[in-house]
């Protein structure tokens, strides 16, 4: 092992248990929930196998009065739930890692609609989802006594399941303990409201009682957000955020500290750099003598070592980096730094969780497939006999397919039309704020460049004759999908008058097309492209008007948690924003628009250049020419179905596995079926 990194592999005593190293796979929802324990165990076991010293079970609700209806979280309500947890713990232990569990009552974050019990809070307040017409009831003394009993009972169940570390969770505005603590939600006048000590009371009681139940078997960790960067901003590290750590200083065995709310804790690469939480959490180690754990999208061992050496953290937590590369610790241990598949900080993992589906990741297409498809993030089954494979296109899908097939032992040739390899992950990475998209190609290209059975050819456009002449056993077309310039988008499927021929597409902009000073960008895509181009062009001195037919800018960035920051970025960059504005035509001097909801005409938006960000359409001519020649091929990635980079990587991976013949012919993977009682 590289001596520079050995400190990361030093064991650490945490209360009655000892972590084998400094790597912690953090609590993060995985979309499998209590309904799909096998798939969930597959994800966590892979972490333990990949070398994480502590593997966390994410937010687990302790009682039916905590009800995150529709969101894929975990439960530990009663004895019946223990078995699934125990199996998960056993799989984690089998690789030498410790298992932790984050027990939670989600208070006013609950919805109280699925289980039928009302959400509970310190006071009668709306639940923390303003778009849902539900309220939380104020807890009376008996409710509080019951709640404390719930925590005690859940802690006993956690112990029965074999966990090594139990969490008292007070972060992300998602814990009743936080709701009692924050003067933003606590309007009580009894001993649980008012003064700081009163608002802290429930937190302290639950922590003391959890310690009591944990006894000498389990360590007790507190997860606490020491600083609110968004939300009501009442708990700050200059005030009560610090006061809490001082008040509870040596009570827990481990402090797991971060920032709130979730959107700032899981900050994306566009807005937050690796290690960005340090400035908010670094005081904690001065206040407590107990080990401190923290996060910050850590992917580089140097940054991790620096945190420990400079006395900021004792344990390095990673949620997203552990999703993108479950084997990150093992790779550092083995000195394979170049093999780390770095998280690109795009929050697709978060977005799919907020829509309630199984975890997905741009960099790691095997996530969620460990159990049900048997996909391992590092191992590819060897191909029986080596075949030649020609992949046309080196974007995310082409490179991922190349890597899978080359690892399996095939002779892989990648032909790229452009002078530069990487397709959209190279091109888009040059747009302001999107540099980390380049990691998609960087990781794969480096791997491919090491392999003797791989040939990479940039500057190599092939036509059907060229492909036929090459004579590969298998041909994969990964030629991507160019943007349309005719105005067809997600809300309007047909061209907009005046767009075709006049509007520039994102491809044109990326290729350096001439752009006038005043630019109108019409966003009917609703993800990052339009606003990233807006920020880029604004930074280059253009006057930018960003127009969208939807009621707010970039709905999908609500799911990646970036929307508020993006809007703030636009504002700071001087980009003028026009939500709820449907384009009806381009005159050459301006965009005619009408209100999205009422249809009333709005004043035209003047500009000299129009950029249309709508949908993309694959160019199918090469495939058709191959078909005409009778040459079989597969179309993968955006060329098969235009989508997000995650989709392209996944497509490349899946098609490659299908080509290896390891996938089910009927497409049906293993499922977790509900038990029939009738």
Partner 1 sequence: MKILVTVKRVVDYNVKIRVKTDGSGVELTNVKMSMNPFDEISVEEALRLKEAGKASEVVVVSIGPAKAEETLRTALAMGADRAILVETDDVIEPLAVAKIVKGVVEAEQPGLVIVGKQAIDDDSNQTGQMLSALLGWAQGTFASKVEIGDGKAQVTREVDGGLQTIEIKLPAVVTTDLRLNEPRYASLPNIMKAKKKPLDKKTPADFGVDTTPRLKVLKTEEPGGRKAGIKVKSVAELVDKLKNEAGLL
Residues within the interface to ligand FMN (CB under 6 A) = 26-29, 58-59, 102, 171-172, 223, 258, 265-266, 295-297, 318-321, 349-350, 353
Site size for partner 1, by CB under 8 A?
A: 26
Is 472 in contact with 428 (CB distance < 8 Å)?
Answer: no
Q: How far apart are CA 301 and CA 308, in angstroms?
A: 11
Distances (CA, A) of 657 to 276, 346, 359, 376: 37, 25, 20, 12
Residue 127 binds ligand SF4 (CB under 6 A): no
Judged by beta carbon distances under 5 to 8 A according to partner kind, the member of ligand SF4, partner 1, ligand FMN, none in contact with residue 361 is ligand SF4
Residue 216 binds partner 1 (CB under 8 A): no
| Spatial CB neighbours of 331, under 8 Å, sequence gap ≥ 6 | 325, 337, 339, 340
3-state secondary structure 152-195: HHHHHHHHHHCCCEEEEEECCCCCHHHHHHCCCCCCCCCCCCCC
In the complex with ligand FMN, the residue whose CB is nearer, 299 or 447, is 299
Is 187 in contact with 193 (CB distance < 8 Å)?
Answer: yes
Judged by beta carbon distances under 5 to 8 A according to partner kind, the member of ligand FMN, ligand SF4, partner 1, none in contact with residue 363 is ligand SF4
Judged by beta carbon distances under 5 to 8 A according to partner kind, the member of partner 1, ligand SF4, ligand FMN, none in contact with residue 102 is ligand FMN
Query: 190-215 b/e with 16+ CB inside 10 Å = b?
Result: eebbeeeebbbbbbbbbbebbbebbe
For ligand SF4, the binding residue among 92, 287, 361, 448 (CB under 6 A) is 361
Residue 43 binds ligand SF4 (CB under 6 A): no
368 exposed, middle or buried (CB, 10 Å; 0-12, 13-18, 19+)?
buried
Residue 629 binds partner 1 (CB under 8 A): no
C-beta neighbour count of 665 within 10 angstroms? 7
In the shown chain, the binding pattern of residues 261 to 300 toward ligand SF4, with x for contact by CB under 6 A and - for none, equals ----------------------------------------
Q: DSSP per residue over 470-481, as a string?
A: HT-SEEEE----
The enclosing H or E element of 119 equals strand 119-121
Judged by beta carbon distances under 5 to 8 A according to partner kind, the member of ligand FMN, ligand SF4, partner 1, none in contact with residue 64 is none
Residues 582-601 that bind partner 1 (CB under 8 A): none
| Spatial CB neighbours of 612, under 8 Å, sequence gap ≥ 6 | 483, 484, 485, 486, 487, 489, 496, 499, 503, 504, 505, 522, 524
Longest dimension (CA), the chain: 83
In the complex with ligand FMN, the residue whose CB is nearer, 172 or 484, is 172
Judged by beta carbon distances under 5 to 8 A according to partner kind, the member of ligand SF4, ligand FMN, partner 1, none in contact with residue 310 is partner 1
Judged by beta carbon distances under 5 to 8 A according to partner kind, the member of ligand FMN, ligand SF4, partner 1, none in contact with residue 362 is ligand SF4
Residue 166 binds partner 1 (CB under 8 A): no
The one-character DSSP state at 484 is P
In the complex with ligand FMN, the residue whose CB is nearer, 258 or 436, is 258
For partner 1, the binding residue among 13, 310, 540, 621 (CB under 8 A) is 310
Residue 7 binds partner 1 (CB under 8 A): yes
In the complex with partner 1, the residue whose CB is nearer, 140 or 302, is 302
In the complex with ligand SF4, the residue whose CB is nearer, 12 or 532, is 532
Closest to 622 measured CA to CA, from 388, 392, 389: 392
Residue 649 binds ligand SF4 (CB under 6 A): no
Output helix, strand, coil percentages for the chain, rounded to the nearest 5: 35, 20, 45
Residue 349 binds ligand SF4 (CB under 6 A): yes
Q: How far apart are CA 457 and CA 415, in angstroms?
A: 5
For partner 1, the binding residue among 24, 41, 235, 462 (CB under 8 A) is 462
Closest to 293 measured CA to CA, from 266, 256, 260, 259: 256
Pairing assessment for the beta strands 315-318 and 23-25 based on DSSP bridges: parallel
Shortest approach of ligand FMN to residue 59 CB, angstroms?
A: 3
Residue 2 binds partner 1 (CB under 8 A): yes
Closest to 169 measured CA to CA, from 102, 258, 108, 97: 102
> Phi-psi category of 667—alpha, beta or left, where left has phi over 0 and alpha has psi -120 to 50?
left
In the complex with partner 1, the residue whose CB is nearer, 72 or 409, is 409
For ligand SF4, the binding residue among 346, 401, 477, 530 (CB under 6 A) is 346
| Spatial CB neighbours of 597, under 8 Å, sequence gap ≥ 6 | 551, 580
In the shown chain, the binding pattern of residues 296 to 335 toward ligand SF4, with x for contact by CB under 6 A and - for none, equals ------------------------x--xx-----------
Q: How far apart are CA 566 and CA 579, in angstroms?
A: 14
For partner 1, the binding residue among 84, 287, 380, 454 (CB under 8 A) is 454
Residues 325-354 that bind partner 1 (CB under 8 A): 338
For ligand SF4, the binding residue among 345, 422, 637, 647 (CB under 6 A) is 345
In the complex with ligand FMN, the residue whose CB is nearer, 169 or 371, is 169
Closest to 181 measured CA to CA, from 248, 258, 276: 248
Shortest approach of ligand FMN to residue 351 CB, angstroms?
A: 9
Residues 472-501 that bind ligand SF4 (CB under 6 A): none
In the complex with partner 1, the residue whose CB is nearer, 289 or 452, is 452
Q: How far apart are CA 175 and CA 158, in angstroms?
A: 18
| Spatial CB neighbours of 512, under 8 Å, sequence gap ≥ 6 | none
Judged by beta carbon distances under 5 to 8 A according to partner kind, the member of ligand FMN, ligand SF4, partner 1, none in contact with residue 346 is ligand SF4
Judged by beta carbon distances under 5 to 8 A according to partner kind, the member of ligand FMN, partner 1, ligand SF4, none in contact with residue 449 is partner 1
In the complex with ligand SF4, the residue whose CB is nearer, 361 or 532, is 361
Is 285 in contact with 303 (CB distance < 8 Å)?
Answer: no
Residue 415 binds partner 1 (CB under 8 A): yes
Residue for token pair 């770095």:
342
Q: How far apart are CA 519 and CA 502, in angstroms?
A: 13
The DSSP bridge partners found for residue 169 are: 223
Is 75 in contact with 69 (CB distance < 8 Å)?
Answer: no
Residue 469 binds partner 1 (CB under 8 A): yes
In the complex with partner 1, the residue whose CB is nearer, 385 or 598, is 385
Residue 140 binds partner 1 (CB under 8 A): no
3-state secondary structure 428-465: HHHCCCCHHHHHHHHHHHHHHHCCCCEEEECCCCCCHH
3-state secondary structure 534-549: HHHHHHCCCEEEEECC
The one-character DSSP state at 504 is B
For partner 1, the binding residue among 446, 539, 587, 672 (CB under 8 A) is 446
Shortest approach of ligand SF4 to residue 11 CB, angstroms?
A: 27
| Spatial CB neighbours of 50, under 8 Å, sequence gap ≥ 6 | 322, 325, 326, 327, 328, 329, 330, 377
Judged by beta carbon distances under 5 to 8 A according to partner kind, the member of partner 1, ligand SF4, ligand FMN, none in contact with residue 58 is ligand FMN
Query: Quick one: which segment of 432-440, 445-453, 622-630, 647-655 binds partner 1 (CB under 8 A)?
Result: 445-453
For partner 1, the binding residue among 110, 263, 413, 609 (CB under 8 A) is 413
Residue 84 binds partner 1 (CB under 8 A): no
For ligand SF4, the binding residue among 65, 362, 368, 609 (CB under 6 A) is 362
Which spans of this chain sit near ligand SF4 (rule: CB under 6 A)?
A: 320, 323-324, 343-349, 361-363
Which spans of this chain sit near partner 1 (rule: CB under 8 A)?
A: 2-4, 6-7, 305, 309-310, 338, 413, 415, 446, 449-452, 454, 457-462, 466, 469-470
């Amino acid at each position: 092992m590289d001596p520079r990194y050995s400190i990361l592999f030093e064991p650490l005593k945490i209360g009655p248990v000892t972590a084998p190293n400094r790597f912690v796979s953090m609590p993060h929802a995985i979309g499998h929930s209590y309904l799909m324990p096998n798939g969930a165990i597959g994800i966590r076991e892979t972490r333990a196998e990949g070398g994480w010293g502590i593997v966390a079970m994410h937010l687990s609700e302790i009682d039916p009065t905590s009800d995150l209806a529709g969101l894929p979280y975990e439960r530990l309500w009663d004895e019946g739930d223990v078995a699934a947890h125990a199996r998960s713990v056993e799989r984690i232990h089998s690789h030498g890692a410790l298992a932790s569990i984050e027990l939670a009552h989600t208070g006013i974050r609950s919805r109280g609609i699925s289980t039928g019990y009302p959400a509970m809070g310190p006071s009668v307040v709306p639940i923390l989802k303003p778009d849902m017409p539900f309220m939380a009831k104020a807890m009376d003394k008996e409710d509080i006594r019951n709640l404390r009993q719930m925590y005690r009972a859940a802690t006993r169940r956690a112990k029965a399941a074999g966990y090594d570390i139990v969490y008292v969770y007070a972060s992300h505005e998602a814990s009743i303990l936080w709701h009692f603590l924050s003067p933003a939600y606590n309007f009580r006048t009894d001993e649980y409201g008012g003064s700081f000590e009163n608002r802290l009371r429930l937190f302290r009681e639950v922590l003391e009682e959890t310690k009591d139940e944990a006894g000498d078997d389990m360590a007790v960790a507190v997860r606490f957000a020491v600083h609110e960067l968004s939300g009501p901003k009442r708990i700050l590290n200059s005030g009560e955020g610090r006061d809490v750590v001082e008040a509870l200083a040596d009570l827990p065995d481990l402090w797991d500290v971060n920032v709130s709310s979730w959107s700032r804790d899981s900050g994306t690469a566009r807005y937050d750099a690796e290690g960005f939480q340090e400035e908010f959490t670094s005081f904690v180690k001065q206040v407590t003598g107990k080990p401190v754990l923290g996060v910050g999208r850590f992917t580089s061992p140097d940054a991790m070592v620096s945190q420990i050496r400079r006395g900021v953290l004792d344990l390095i937590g990673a949620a997203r980096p552990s999703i993108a590369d479950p084997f990150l610790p093992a790779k550092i241990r083995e000195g394979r730094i170049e093999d780390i598949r770095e998280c690109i900080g795009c929050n697709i993992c978060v977005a799919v969780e907020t829509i309630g589906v199984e975890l997905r990741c741009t960099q790691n297409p095997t996530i969620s497939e460990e159990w049900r498809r048997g996909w391992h993030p590092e191992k590819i089954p060897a191909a029986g006999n080596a075949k030649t494979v020609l992949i046309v296109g080196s974007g995310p899908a082409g490179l991922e397919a190349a890597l899978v097939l080359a690892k399996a032992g095939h002779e892989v040739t990648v032909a790229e039309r452009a002078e530069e390899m990487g397709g959209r992950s190279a091109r888009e990475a040059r747009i302001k704020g999107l540099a980390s998209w380049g990691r998609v190609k960087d990781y794969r290209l480096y791997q491919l460049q090491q392999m003797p059975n791989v040939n990479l050819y940039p500057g190599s456009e092939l036509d059907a004759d060229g492909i036929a002449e090459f004579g590969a056993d298998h041909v994969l077309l990964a030629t991507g999908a160019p943007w349309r310039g005719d105005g067809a988008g997600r809300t309007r499927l047909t061209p907009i008058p005046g767009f075709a021929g006049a509007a520039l597409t994102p491809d044109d902009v990326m290729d350096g097309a001439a752009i006038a000073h005043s630019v109108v960008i019409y966003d009917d895509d609703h993800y990052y492209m339009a606003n990233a181009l807006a920020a880029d062009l604004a930074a280059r001195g253009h006057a930018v008007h960003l127009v969208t037919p939807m009621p707010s800018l970039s709905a999908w960035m609500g799911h990646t948690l970036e929307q508020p920051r993006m809007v703030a970025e636009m504002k700071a960059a001087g980009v003028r924003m026009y939500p709820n504005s449907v384009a009806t035509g381009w005159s050459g001097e301006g965009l005619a628009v009408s209100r999205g909801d009422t249809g009333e005409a709005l004043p035209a938006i003047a500009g000299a250049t129009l950029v249309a960000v709508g949908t993309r359409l694959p160019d199918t001519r090469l495939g058709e020419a191959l078909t005409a020649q009778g040459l079989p091929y597969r179309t993968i990635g955006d060329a098969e179905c235009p989508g997000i980079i995650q989709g392209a990587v996944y497509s490349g991976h899946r098609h490659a596995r299908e080509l290896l013949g390891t996938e089910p012919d009927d497409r049906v993977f293993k499922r977790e079926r509900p038990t029939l009682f009738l």
